[in-house]
Amino acid sequence: MKKLIICHLYGNLLNTYGDIGNIMAFSHEARKRGYEVETDIISLGDEFVPEKYDFVFFGGGQDYEQKIVQEDLLGKRDELDNYIEESGVFLAICGGYQLLGKYYYDAYNNKINGLNIFDHYTENQQDGARFTGQIKIKDNLSKKIYEGFENHGGVTYLSKDQKALGMVIEGNGNNGKDKTEGFRYKNTIGTYLHGPLLARNNNLCNDLLNKIEERN
């Protein structure tokens, strides 16, 4: 039987809005294709070995947990960057998405430096406002529709060189202004869509599995 190995980054600390459901949905679809699925939680002090993993998932958490993670994450930066550049399949949601960029601000307006692998950055909304509710987007590449819900106080801005995952049909997306949602680079996706995303959007789940099979 073929084996597919998943890395869940800080899965014991970051699981806002049940985003572990993405791992469950992804594993279910992989098993339907005949894969034996193994999941490793790579957390504080653990080594990340890029060559080992077929799929990496990086979710979000509360400010306290994300600050703890940020300090450890910097020690894994080069290995994660290598995985991304080698077209590893990587899904980052909410706080994970923010941490791949330059910086974000926590609820107390403290600046938290990201990995700076990508050039997006995240500011806080004024007066503690948040984007909440259902969101629907259209993928810029596949033209497929994805649905989920968003709940974030940060507003994220992509650099001129970054490509958005999709455009907002309903909801707010990255910043509520330019209609962009998330970003895509090679086989890496960052997004604010919860749901869990892969459980609600089987089309995206299978597209990610297809990317893995293309690499192998």
Instruction: State yes or no: pLDDT of 63 exceeds 90.
Output: no
Query: Per the residue annotation, which of 94, 120, 152, 205 is the catalytic one?
Result: 94
Phi-psi group of 127: left, alpha or beta (phi > 0 → left; psi -120 to 50 → alpha; rest → beta): left
Choose the weakest-confidence range: 12-16, 20-24, 116-120: 12-16
> What DSSP string runs through 79-103?
HHHHHHHTT-EEEEETHHHHHTSSE
* Residue 118: alpha-carbon gap to chain centroid: 13
**pLDDT score, position 180:** 98
Taking alpha carbons only, the member of 41, 83, 32 closest to residue 59 is 41
Structural domains in the chain, sorted by start? 2-215 (3.40.50.880)
* Token pair in block for residue 123: 């500011």
**pLDDT score, position 216:** 79
Query: Per the residue annotation, which of 8, 120, 152, 194 is the catalytic one?
Result: 194
Contact status, residue 207 vs residue 197, Cβ threshold 8 Å: no
> Does 7 participate in catalysis according to the annotation?
no
**pLDDT score, position 187:** 98
> Does 94 participate in catalysis according to the annotation?
yes
Instruction: State yes or no: pLDDT of 215 exceeds 90.
Output: no
From start to end of 63-174, where are the E strands?
Answer: 89-93, 103-105, 111-113, 121-124, 131-139, 145-152, 154-157, 166-170
* Token pair in block for residue 200: 């609600």
